[in-house]
């Protein structure tokens, strides 16, 4: 199974559409969003995906976001998401809550921990956990997200023009 991880989309509707088109082209149907969505119309673009969201520090209208996430049949995990996929433990947060991010990294019980917030793509390991920031679709020169092949662990960084 392949999953896509996006973060920091910050109301960039055209870029989010392009990113989701790239996912459709690759046959990816599961998306994790690591927060800083900003407004509900962005959530609506994820309607055709199995989508999981956490909220970031720029997601001010949490009620509208939660209602839209529910309306499209997606899942809101508030500030911390945890899924098991293909036998792998996957956690995801926005990353602005430094203590939470540090605790999840140190827990050594996740295979993958995804986060955003910094707008800087990164991929490193801490103990058992591979910690990945997929980059951002706003306020960065190269706009990126990642696709994880869960069984193999292969991670592809995808540039959105």
Residue-wise pLDDT for 41-79, tens only, equals: 999 999 999 999 999 999 999 999 999 999 999 999 999
What's the rounded Cα separation, in Å, for the pair 125 and 137? 24
CATH assignment at residue 67 = 3.60.21.10
How many independent structural domains does the chain possess?
1
Q: Which domain holds residue 22?
A: 2-159
- H runs (alpha helix) in 36-94: 40-44, 62-71
Rounded to two decimals, the pTM is: 0.97
In this structure, are residues 1 and 151 in contact, taking their beta carbons and an 8 Å threshold? yes
4-49 pLDDT tens trace: 999 999 999 999 999 999 999 999 999 999 999 999 999 999 999 9
108-155 pLDDT tens trace: 999 999 999 999 999 999 999 999 999 999 999 999 999 999 999 999
- H runs (alpha helix) in the chain: 13-26, 40-44, 62-71, 98-107
What is the predicted pLDDT for the residue at 56?
Answer: 98
């Amino acid at each position: 199974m392949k999953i896509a991880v996006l973060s920091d989309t910050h109301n960039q509707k055209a870029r989010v559409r392009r990113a989701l088109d790239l996912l459709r082209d690759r046959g990816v149907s599961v998306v994790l969003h690591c927060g800083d969505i900003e407004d509900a119309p962005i959530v609506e673009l994820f309607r055709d995906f199995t989508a999981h969201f956490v909220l970031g520090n720029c997601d001010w209208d949490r009620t509208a976001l939660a209602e839209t996430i529910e309306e499209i049949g997606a899942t809101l995990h508030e500030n911390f998401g945890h899924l098991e996929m293909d036998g792998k433990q996957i956690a995801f947060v926005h990353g602005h809550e430094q203590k939470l991010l540090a605790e999840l990294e140190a827990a050594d019980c996740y295979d993958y921990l995804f986060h955003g917030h910094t707008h800087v793509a990164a991929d490193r390991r801490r103990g058992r956990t591979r910690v990945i920031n997929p980059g951002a679709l706003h306020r960065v020169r190269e706009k990126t997200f990642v696709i994880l092949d869960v069984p193999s662990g292969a991670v592809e960084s995808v540039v959105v023009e």
